[in-house]
């Protein structure tokens, strides 16, 4: 429910940046991540080093591209209730350029990650040879780079229009961004599927799933919403946007996080159920690898972290309105995303006698914290460069009158 007629606006808030504590934690994460990766490379553990790098790079890139997808979805849905928190996803898109470059640096480590990157292996494998026209390093580089470039172009266009509206006002730029959002979501569906296939699905190149791209999209949607929730809850808790962001807006974003949590469970179960029901060797291989060699407890823990705990914690109404209750759940979801990426990547590394065995993801977690730290620093830099609220957005009055 919203009330569009407000006679006066609250006093314009000052620009916001990262608190000193958050900056310190981000810098600490970068140091820990750099140390973990340096140790793995120095010890000659190339498979561990590159798998760690892939997990962290994809985690952070997913947050950045979801920031743009979030803006597009709200533009199309007319989601005026979230106008005052739009600067958060806009700042998330600042990672697209550095994050895209860092993600593409996975290519030098392709030999340690992907079977299909070895010419001799492909020549001796009929399945890989059949897929070689698509699964090869030049195509990987071209498709991934083109996808990231398209995301950067759309981000520049849509975020740039938001900035111009701060100066010019009016509804023209809102309508322009709505049309651009429709186009972006079509491009995003294609490009993100391609990126997911190359970076993650092709780790098990003999396996295929028509639902994999949907699952990975659900992953970044749940995780990206958790990051927006975390930022909004911290802003409300600090009183940084008083009068512009309140418990009603937190309730709205909390409901979205709750919805994505349920949707993830639905998609993950559907993928598993269809594979289990058909029981085809070329499909069951994915889950068999993640139940052998000690991986079963890790696999069983995933739905607990990604669905059961956040679902139960977010059920009460107050849990979606109080920063003190939302922040821990958002952090839990972010950790759960790391756990799922770890399960996607680590068991797929190594084949034959060198098959990967379950282990505590100490190095992988350290590397991911490094990427999250870098992402957070770039996010904070982008956030403080502009006014924290789009004061000339035509939907601002509806947003300020939002009640949930």
Tell which residue, 98, 220, 225, has the closest CA to residue 155. 98
Residue 81 in 3-state DSSP?
Answer: helix
Contact status, residue 213 vs residue 196, Cβ threshold 8 Å: yes
Q: Note whether 162 and 85 are within 8 A (CB).
A: no
For residue 132, with 0-12 CB atoms within 10 Å meaning exposed, 13-18 middle and 19 or more buried, which class applies? Answer: middle
Do 258 and 307 form a contact (C-beta atoms < 8 A)?
no
6 band by pLDDT with thresholds 50, 70 and 90: very low
Q: How would DSSP label each residue in 290-353?
A: TTTTTTHHHHHHHHIIIIIHHHHHH-STGGGT-HHHHHHHHHHHHHHHHHHHHHHHGGGS--GG
Phi-psi sector, 352: left (phi>0), alpha (psi -120 to 50), beta: left
Asked if pLDDT for residue 12 goes beyond 90, the answer is no
| Domain chopping of the chain, boundaries | 20-392
Whether residue 59 contacts residue 370, with contact meaning beta carbons closer than 8 Å, is answered with no
Tens digit of each residue's pLDDT (9 = 90 or more) over 35-80 = 999 999 999 999 999 999 999 999 999 999 999 999 999 999 999 9
Q: What is the pLDDT of residue 4?
A: 43
Please report, rounded to a whole number, the percentage of residues in the chain having pLDDT higher than 70.
98
Task: Quote the CA–CA distance of 215 and 119 in Å, as a whole number.
Answer: 30
Listed range (29-43, 88-102, 138-152, 348-362) with the worst mean pLDDT: 348-362
Residue (of 37, 34, 32) closest to 52 by Cα position: 37
**Cβ neighbours around 144 below 10 Å, total:** 20
Which of 26, 31, 36 has the alpha carbon at shortest distance from 364? 36
Split at pLDDT 50, 70, 90, the class of 280 is: confident
- Burial-class residue 248 by CB neighbours within 10 Å (0-12, 13-18, 19+): middle
- State mean pLDDT over 366-375: 98
pLDDT at position 208 is 85
- Rounded percentage of the chain residues whose pLDDT exceeds 90: 85
Q: pLDDT class for 5, splitting at 50, 70, 90?
A: very low
pTM of the model as a whole: 0.95
Q: What CA dihedral angle connects 23, 89, 68 and 196, to 10 degrees?
A: 50
Residues 6 or more apart in contact with residue 83 via CB below 8 angstroms = 389, 390, 393, 395, 396, 398, 399
- How is residue 108 written in tokens? 């030098």
What tokens were used for 265? 């469970």
H/E run at residue 135: none
CA dihedral 326, 221, 141, 197 (to 10 degrees): 120
Q: Residue 374 pLDDT > 70, yes or no?
A: yes
pLDDT band at 404 (very low <50, low <70, confident <90, very high): confident
Please check the confidence at residue 106 and state whether its pLDDT lies above 80.
Answer: yes
Rounded distance, CA 171 to CA 393, Å? 8
Give every CB contact of residue 137 below 8 A, 6+ residues apart in sequence: 107, 110, 117
Q: pLDDT band at 8, cuts 50/70/90?
A: confident
Q: Is 318 left (phi over 0), alpha (psi -120 to 50) or beta?
A: alpha
Cβ–Cβ contacts within 10 Å for residue 362, how many? 10
pLDDT band at 353 (very low <50, low <70, confident <90, very high): low
Say yes or no to pLDDT of 240 above 60: yes
**pLDDT for 192-238, tens place per residue?**
999 999 999 999 999 888 899 999 999 999 999 999 999 999 999 98
Q: 3 pLDDT exceeds 50?
A: no
For the residues 249-273, what does the mean pLDDT come to?
95
pLDDT of 352: 62
DSSP string, 234-265: HHHHHTTTTTTS-HHHHHHHHHHHHHHHHHHH
Tokens 């006698």 map to which residue?
353
Number of Cβ within 10 Å of residue 326's Cβ equals 28
Q: Are 78 and 103 in contact (CB under 8 A)?
A: no
């Amino acid at each position: 429910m919203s009330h569009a007629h407000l006679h006066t606006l609250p006093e314009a808030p000052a620009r916001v940046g990262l608190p000193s504590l958050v900056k310190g934690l981000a810098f600490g994460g970068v140091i820990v991540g750099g140390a973990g990766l340096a140790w793995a490379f120095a010890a000659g553990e190339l498979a561990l080093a590159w798998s760690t790098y892939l997990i962290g790079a994809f985690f952070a890139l997913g947050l950045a591209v979801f920031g743009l997808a979030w803006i597009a979805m709200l533009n199309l849905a007319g989601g005026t209730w979230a106008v005052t928190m739009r600067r958060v996803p806009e700042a998330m898109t600042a990672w697209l350029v550095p994050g895209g470059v860092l993600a593409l640096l996975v290519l030098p480590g392709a030999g340690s990650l992907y079977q299909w990157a070895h010419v001799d292996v492909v020549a001796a494998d009929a399945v890989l040879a059949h897929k070689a026209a698509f699964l090869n390093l030049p195509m990987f580089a071209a498709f991934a780079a083109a996808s990231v470039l398209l995301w950067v172009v759309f981000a520049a266009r849509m975020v740039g229009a938001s900035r111009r509206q701060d100066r010019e006002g009016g509804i023209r730029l809102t309508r322009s961004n709505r049309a651009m959002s429709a186009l972006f979501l079509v491009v995003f569906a294609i490009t993100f599927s391609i990126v997911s296939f190359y970076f993650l699905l092709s780790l098990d190149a003999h396996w295929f799933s028509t639902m994999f791209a949907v699952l990975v999209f659900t992953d970044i949607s749940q995780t990206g919403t958790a990051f927006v929730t975390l930022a909004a809850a911290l802003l409300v808790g600090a009183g940084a946007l008083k009068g512009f962001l309140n418990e009603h807006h937190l309730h709205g974003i909390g409901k979205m996080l709750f919805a994505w949590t349920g949707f993830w469970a639905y998609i993950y179960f559907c993928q598993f159920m269809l594979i289990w029901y058909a029981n085809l060797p070329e499909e069951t291989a994915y889950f068999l690898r993640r139940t052998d060699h000690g991986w079963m407890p890790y696999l069983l823990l995933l739905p607990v972290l990604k669905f059961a705990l956040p679902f139960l914690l977010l059920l009460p109404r107050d849990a979606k309105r109080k920063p003190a209750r939302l922040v821990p759940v958002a952090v839990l979801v972010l950790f759960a995303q790391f756990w799922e990426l770890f399960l996607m990547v680590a068991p797929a590394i190594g084949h034959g006698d060198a098959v990967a065995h379950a282990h505590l993801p100490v190095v992988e977690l350290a590397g991911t914290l490094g990427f999250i730290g870098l992402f957070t620093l770039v996010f904070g830099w982008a956030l403080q460069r502009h006014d924290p609220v789009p004061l000339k957005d035509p939907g601002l009055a509806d947003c300020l009158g939002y009640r949930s």
